[in-house]
Amino acid sequence: MIQKGRTFTPGTENRTFWCHTCSLPLLSARCNNCGGSGEMVELSPPADIRLCSGAGRDLLKDLFGKSYGCSDFLDRRTILLNKIAGADRRDQVFINGRHVATLWFDVEKEAHRLDLESAGAALLTDRAKNNVVVCNPAALKGHFKGKWLDKSAILDQTGNPEESDCVLLKIGKFVGVGVVRKKGDGSTAIRVRDVTKEPFELSSKIPTIEDVIKANEPHLKRLEKTAVRELREAISHPRSQSELPVNVSFSGGKDSLAALSLCLKAKPDAEVLFIDTKLEFPETVEYVKNICTSEGLKLHVIEGEDKFFDQVESFGPPAKDYRWCCKTNKLGPLTAFVQKQYPKGCLTVEGRRIYESFSRSKIGAVESNPYVPGQITLCPIRNWKALEVVLYTMWKGLPQNPLYEKDYERIGCWLCPASLQSEFENTRSIHPELHFRWASYLRGWAKANELDSRYVDWGFWRWRRHPPKVVEIAKARGIALNPLPLKGKKTGLDVVRGRSPCGLKYSIEGSLAVPQNYPFSAVANALCMIGRVKYSEDLGVAMVESKEGNVTLFANGHFMVVAEKEDAEVLLRKVVETALRVQMCTGCKICEKRCRQRAIKVKDTIYIDEERCCRCGRCVKGCIAAAEAPMILGNKGRSSRPSAVKSSRSA
């Protein structure tokens, strides 16, 4: 079963405004430059608006130039981008506080595209030289929106737009946007998407970034005052053990840069932690070291082991919903460092924000990290938006990571699955050697798993459980989304444990290899002995909800268990036992005889009647196949007890 995507809305307050007098964005309603009130900018959720980078401006100029033959109106203007839902990159483009276009990355064409909005059409009315369609308003009676343009209604047309391209419409007193679409008979025509009578002229004022910062200075001061007070209270609070050393986690991104500045204001002698995963961009490593050197900060570089490309052979590529790499490359080295450097514990200031993802939408001001013993995390910018973060760091005169100017929205590992496919394409031009190394591995992995080459080229590897939009694209293009088990892989188990720094919950992730004597659907059926199962044959994934926690198991053996530590170990053992019982069933029917509910039938292998099964666990006792579980778990399992009994040992 495929669940519909959710719209991420962490908050309802829209704090972004536009001062038309000064022609600049405001973080609050009042402009500090002219004293006037700004107009609220309507944003789609999650409304985490940000400044457009230099490379982003160049990209927009190229797209406007190719589509409409004009782009100089973008020069020196303050351009804002607002990320919205989509298969990959999708940004609302704002100029002078108006939504003029939507910039998005077409994964199928592996190129950026531009969808014009009605405000953009009004802006380009007297500028556009290409893809302009002049219509006869008399031939379009009534409401224009949604109508097809008959050839007789077109008086003049420039350009040769292709299917799905936008065109600028001129219909008497109206201007609007049309889209080239296929009609029911297979022919292509222009369909009116939106029209407007409202004119749009750009302001003659072109403010500098210094003007923008000055206009928002009171708001930035309030943000800083609140965050610093909160940090000082947390650091000195008796319950947080005020004698604990304070440090700040600095990844080299804009959020951690803001957190660093706030932390140093509250605690000037705080130390700086940087986890070098060995997968960081070289620019980031150099940037972090330069910042700490110039500010005279004590930097601890926590070195991760350079074993990712060895580990990926066992676990397969990481994914947004399968981030085993965060544990091996971040959490593991961090835990070891904290235990050695801060044996009595520490307070760590982090730059996590609620607007970044669902998993971070409930971040607390102070949290105890149960998976890094002794570490208490403080999140002073959890409620800040991206525009607030950037303007704050600029106000403080802090240099930005140079990768932001190269049109990266987020800074992390260069092959991180949480990055956009458009950003991975960006890496191809900036660091071709890094792009080639990862792309070569992915193509080899796809070939070994008999996957369509587009599975890699279009970035589908970045999920184990694919979102609806990706499923829709794959289905339309005949691309199978269920990775097949690697041929010839020996029976075994590879696991990583702990709370991911990218998330909030404890999990066990890994790869389980068992004989493939029966289809995965048989395993999915048997998983109902653990909990309620949702199974998608198309995706090759079974999701289990149990009283202990949740399990996601894929046809290729990859899995993820999310639960409290002890419960997670119980679930891991149950998953291994269930897979073995299905794939190595001897047909002895001991389980069938032990089941008081008559929920088990054994033919070639076991079959479970979910309506009858009460999940008592009696059937596993005496099963020869399940008895193999301890051998597979070995020291990979935290408990040698039967699965029906919770382990009392800590992970």
Render pLDDT for 65-120 as a digit per residue (tens, 0 to 9). 999 999 999 999 999 999 999 999 999 999 999 999 999 999 999 999 999 999 99
Structure-derived torsion over alpha carbons of residues 467, 473, 478, 479, reported in degrees to the nearest 10: -50
Check whether residue 185 and residue 221 sit in a common domain. Answer: no
Check whether residue 192 and residue 243 sit in a common domain. Answer: no
> What is the tens place of the pLDDT at every residue in 326-369?
878 888 888 889 989 999 999 999 999 987 764 555 677 788 77
Q: Is the pLDDT of residue 323 over 90?
A: no
Please tell me which residue, 127 or 485, carries the higher pLDDT value. Answer: 127
Check whether residue 187 and residue 239 sit in a common domain. Answer: no
Which one, of 379, 349, 336, lies nearest residue 244 by Cα? 349
Check whether residue 72 and residue 186 sit in a common domain. Answer: yes
Cα–Cα distance between 598 and 595 in angstroms, integer? Answer: 5
Cα–Cα distance between 160 and 607 in angstroms, integer? Answer: 59
Token pair, residue 281, equals 């961009």
Q: Of 106-115, 252-261, 301-310, which gets the smallest average pLDDT?
A: 301-310
pLDDT at position 313 is: 85
Per the domain annotation, does 11 fall within a domain?
no
Please tell me which residue, 535 or 75, carries the higher pLDDT value. Answer: 75
Tell me what the mean pLDDT of segment 251-274 comes to: 97
Q: How far is residue 86 from each of residues 91, 94, 162, 182, 244, measured CA to CA in Å?
A: 9, 18, 22, 22, 44
Cα–Cα distance between 86 and 358 in angstroms, integer? Answer: 15
Whether the CB-CB separation of 275 and 333 falls below 8 Å is answered with yes
Total residues belonging to the chain:
651
What residue numbers bound the domain in which 546 lies?
492-636
Banded model confidence at residue 636, pLDDT cuts 50, 70, 90: low
Whether the CB-CB separation of 258 and 392 falls below 8 Å is answered with yes
303 three-state secondary structure: strand
Cα–Cα distance between 241 and 244 in angstroms, integer? Answer: 6
Cα–Cα distance between 621 and 607 in angstroms, integer? Answer: 17
User: What's the helix, strand, coil split of the chain in %, to 5?
Assistant: 35, 20, 45
In 173-284 the beta strands, taken as DSSP E runs, fall at: 174-182, 188-196, 246-249, 271-276
Per the domain annotation, does 275 fall within a domain?
yes
Check whether residue 268 and residue 174 sit in a common domain. Answer: no
Residue 310 sits in a domain whose CATH number is 3.40.50.620
Check whether residue 148 and residue 274 sit in a common domain. Answer: no
Which one, of 266, 271, 256, 268, lies nearest residue 236 by Cα? 266
Count up the domains in the chain and report the number.
Answer: 3
Cα–Cα distance between 410 and 356 in angstroms, integer? Answer: 10
Residue position matching structure tokens 């950037």: 390
Position 483, amino acid: P
Residue 162 sits in a domain whose CATH number is 3.10.400
Banded model confidence at residue 314, pLDDT cuts 50, 70, 90: confident
Tell me what the mean pLDDT of segment 273-277 comes to: 96
